[in-house]
Amino acid sequence: MSIRFTYAATIAGALALASPAVQAQEFINILTGGTSGVYYPMGVALSEIYGENIEGARTQVQSTKASVENLNLLQQGKGELGFALGDSVKYAWEGNQEAGFKAPLDKLRAIAAIYPNYVQIAALKEAGITTITDMDGKSLSVGAPKSGTELNARAILGAAGKSYEDLGKVEYLPFAESVELMKNRQLDATLQSSGLGNAAIKDLASSQEITIVSVPAEIVNAIGAPYVAGAIPAGTYQGQTEDVPTAAVVNFLVTHSEVSDETAYQMAKLIFDNLDKLKAAHSAANGIVLDNAPKGSPIPLHPGAERFYKEQGLL
Question: What tens digit of pLDDT does each residue of 207-252 get?
Answer: 999 999 999 999 999 998 789 899 999 999 999 999 999 999 999 9
| pLDDT above 90 as % of the chain | 83
Q: What is the pLDDT of residue 224?
A: 85
> 25 or 65: which carries more pLDDT confidence?
65
Domains of the chain (ranges; CATH) run 22-115+250-311 (3.40.190.10), 117-249 (3.40.190.10)
Q: Averaged over 261-284, what is the pLDDT?
A: 97
As a whole number of Å, the CA-based R_g of the chain is: 22
Q: What is the pLDDT of residue 124?
A: 98
Q: How far apart are CA 25 and CA 272, in angstroms?
A: 24
Residue 43 near residue 30, CB atoms below 8 Å:
yes
Judge whether residue 11 has pLDDT over 90: no
Query: What is the reported pTM?
Result: 0.80
Q: What is the pLDDT of residue 226?
A: 84
DSSP the chain: -HHHHHHHHHHHHHHHHHHHHHHHPEEEEEE---TTSSHHHHHHHHHHHHHHHSTTEEEEEE--S-HHHHHHHHHTTS-SEEEEEHHHHHHHHHT-GGGT-SS--TTEEEEEEEEEEEEEEEEEGGG---BGGG-TT-EEE--STTSHHHHHHHHHHHHTT--GGGSSEEE---HHHHHHHHHTTS-SEEEEEESSS-HHHHHHHHHS-EEEEB--HHHHHHH-TTEEEEEE-TTSSTT--S-EEEEEEEEEEEEETTS-HHHHHHHHHHHHHSHHHHHHH-GGGGG--GGGTTSS-SSPBPHHHHHHHHHTT--
- Residues 164-193 have pLDDT tens digits of 999 999 999 989 999 999 999 999 999 999
